[in-house]
Amino acid sequence: MAGYLLEAGKHDVSLLARGERLAAIRERGLIVESHGRRLHSRPRVSAVPEDFGPQDVLFLTVKGHGLPALATALAPMIGPETVVVSAQNGIPWWYFYGDAGPECDTPFEIVDPGGLAWRAIGPERALGCVIYLPAHIESAGIVQHEGISRLILGAPRAGQHAAVLDCLAGALSEAGIEVVLTEQIRHAVWSKLMLNGASATLSVLTGSTVGQLQAGPGMPDIRARLKRETLATARAWNIDLPDEIDQPPGAGVSGHKPSMLQDYEARRPLELDAIVTSVIDLAARRRVPVPTIETLRSTLIVKLTTERYPGMTLPGVHPLQTITTASTFAAERAR
């Protein structure tokens, strides 16, 4: 997103980065290779939020499990009118803001332990963002993008931030990224989650790309069961998605490695809570059975534990859920 906006040259775009990526961008700039184009820019970049001051818009693109810790450091960049675009896979930290039911306007502990992001950012500032930008980091400061370029944007509480949404859609569209505005951002979240959830754990367990998962013996049936359980959970939360269980992966992504597999191969913490554990928890709250999702999650945790994967006990895996099955959630809450 930054590479495209910087190439357009009409907006003041800065990057908050860390470690080797920060060093690489400082040394040689940001490079985005996309559809035969090489976008090379020299953005202002720092690891220190105080270097930037209050921003009109913040795009938060760290993985979901990294957001709560980052959120507490963002105060120097958040002014009275700042809007924060939360661009993570899975169920987001703001999910219960403005939602109906007993959870309304409360943090979702599975993805936001202690409500850190909720308090530090404020859900009233949040814009939801569902990302369809299949990409990977070739090396520090160099990003390779393939396939579609689409963002779905919407406010958790429909009707909020309408002017900002229009402005963002215009800027991103002009830069070359397709933008869809919606008043039903939770529908878009669950629609993407059906794709992520059907690929995430399976990709790590098998080491397979999206296309290999689709073509592997028995894989379409397992993926269909994962999608069906996710769909049933979404509908239990009044998200009436169409039944597209048998829809194949989109064109141009068959060779793409799901983000969880990319993280696994790089020995980084996984988005397991946002993509998997959160669905198990939400299913349990509405008494929806999700045995396939539970089984694959447990199998993956055993694999990671056996491999002494970095972070076991896993940052990015909710500690309670590693020893608790969905069937006991309701009883534990009652106690």
Residues 6+ apart with CB under 8 A from 51: none
Pick the catalytic residue from 10, 63, 192, 227: 192
| Residue 316 DSSP SS3 | coil
| Residue 79 DSSP SS3 | strand
Q: Sort 218 into a burial class: Cβ within 10 Å, 0-12 / 13-18 / 19+.
A: exposed
Q: How far apart are CA 20 and CA 18, in angstroms?
A: 7
Indicate the DSSP class of residue 217.
Answer: T
Active site residue 63: no
In the chain, alpha helices (H): 2-8, 19-28, 67-71, 116-121, 162-175, 185-206, 210-215, 219-236, 259-265, 272, 278-285, 291-306, 329-334
Q: Which residue has the tokens 């939770």?
A: 186
| Residue 140 DSSP SS3 | coil
Q: Sort 286 into a burial class: Cβ within 10 Å, 0-12 / 13-18 / 19+.
A: middle
Q: Which amino acid is at 103?
A: E
Q: How far apart are CA 227 and CA 251, in angstroms?
A: 19
Tokens of 30: 């940001």
Listing DSSP states for 114-136 in one string gives GGHHHHHH-GGGEEEEEEE--EE
Neighbours of 203 (CB within 10 A): 23
Q: Looking at the annotation, which residues are catalytic? A: 192
